[in-house]
């Protein structure tokens, strides 16, 4: 970690940071064991964390910039759904990504690790309805809470690149892409069967149905037929399947999942 903290005077410290803790923290960074306080001098880890995080924020330590001379490393973890508060699954997931980012940064790579929010869909509307709060307020209040929790974890995120999928400035690009696909004849509308969660009142992917029940509510999933838009990816099935062989670094189960999603079918076996 490449950083320095000016502990020359209290005026340079973040509010609530004591001078002894700051000097101990700086000494540890410099490798100066003689300047680290003895065991009888208490150092509160929370104080050290606040000082370090304050420094990172002041200096934009994790902001990704154009540096052509350094190798690039892009670390993107799955965006969290802004349900209100982090749980241990979030902590595990984003700690792993952060460890990778810090490792590559220490190797001299130019690292970009952004953060965003998977915030668009019926679950947010249902939760807001149950709470009697407007969906926008419910969603953005939750984002603010979870952003604060992620920051307290000390993750090396580039917050300047933060996005929320419910923001019109984000999803307008998806709408344009959809219209481009439609103009190119790659979109058709027809009836199709879906997994319907009667409690969340939303459609579930096959992976979200566990033993016939919705993964979030536990309700028995119903099969319903509704009008849907389909993208004609079957035109590119052979090309997409062939490209999977050029991804040797991907786990086999992920490649299998991708192949199943592509869904090429060359025949049917009938048993009488």
pLDDT in tens, 206-227: 989 999 999 888 999 999 999 9
Pairing of strands 222-231, 213-214: unpaired
Is the overall model pTM greater than 0.75, yes or no? no
Distance of CA 145 to the CA centre of its chain: 15
pLDDT of res. 83: 83
Torsion, Cα of 235, 238, 240, 241 (10° steps): 140
Question: What stretches in the chain show pLDDT beneath 70?
Answer: 1-41, 123
Say which residues have a Cβ less than 8 Å from residue 248's Cβ, sequence separation at least 6: none
| Residue for token pair 């150092």 | 43
CB count in 10 Å sphere of residue 16? 10
- Do 117 and 110 contact (CB within 8 A), yes or no? no
Nearest-5° angle of CA 166, CA 94, CA 247?
90
pLDDT of res. 32: 57
pLDDT of res. 8: 36
pLDDT of res. 26: 57
HSE-up of residue 251 (Cα within 13 Å, Cβ side):
3
| Residue for token pair 């929320």 | 164
Q: pLDDT tens-digit profile of 94-131?
A: 999 999 999 999 999 999 999 999 998 776 777 778 88
- Do 126 and 106 contact (CB within 8 A), yes or no? no
């Amino acid at each position: 970690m490449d950083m320095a903290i000016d502990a020359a005077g209290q005026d340079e410290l973040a509010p609530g940071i004591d001078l002894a803790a700051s000097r101990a923290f700086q000494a540890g960074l410099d490798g100066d064991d003689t300047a680290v306080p003895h065991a009888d001098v208490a150092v509160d880890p929370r104080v050290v964390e606040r000082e370090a995080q304050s420094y990172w924020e002041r200096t934009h330590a994790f902001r990704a910039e154009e540096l052509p001379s350094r190798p690039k490393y892009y670390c993107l973890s799955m965006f969290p759904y802004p349900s209100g508060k982090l749980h241990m699954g979030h902590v595990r997931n984003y700690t792993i990504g952060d460890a990778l980012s810090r490792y590559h940064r220490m190797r001299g790579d130019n690292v970009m690790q952004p953060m965003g929010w998977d915030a668009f869909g019926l679950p947010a509307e249902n939760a807001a309805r149950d709470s009697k709060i407007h969906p926008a307020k419910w969603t953005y209040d939750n984002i603010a809470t979870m952003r604060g929790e992620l920051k307290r974890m000390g993750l090396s995120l580039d917050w300047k690149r933060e996005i929320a999928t419910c923001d019109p400035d984000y999803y307008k690009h998806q709408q344009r892409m959809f219209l481009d696909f439609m103009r190119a004849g790659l979109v058709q509308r027809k009836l199709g069967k879906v997994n319907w969660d009667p409690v969340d009142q939303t459609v579930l992917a096959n992976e979200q149905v566990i033993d016939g029940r919705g993964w979030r509510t536990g309700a028995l999933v119903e099969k319903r037929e509704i009008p849907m838009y389909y993208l004609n990816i079957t035109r590119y099935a052979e090309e997409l399947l062939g490209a999977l062989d050029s991804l040797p670094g991907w786990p086999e189960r992920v490649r299998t999942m991708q192949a199943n999603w592509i869904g090429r079918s060359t025949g049917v076996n009938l048993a009488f």
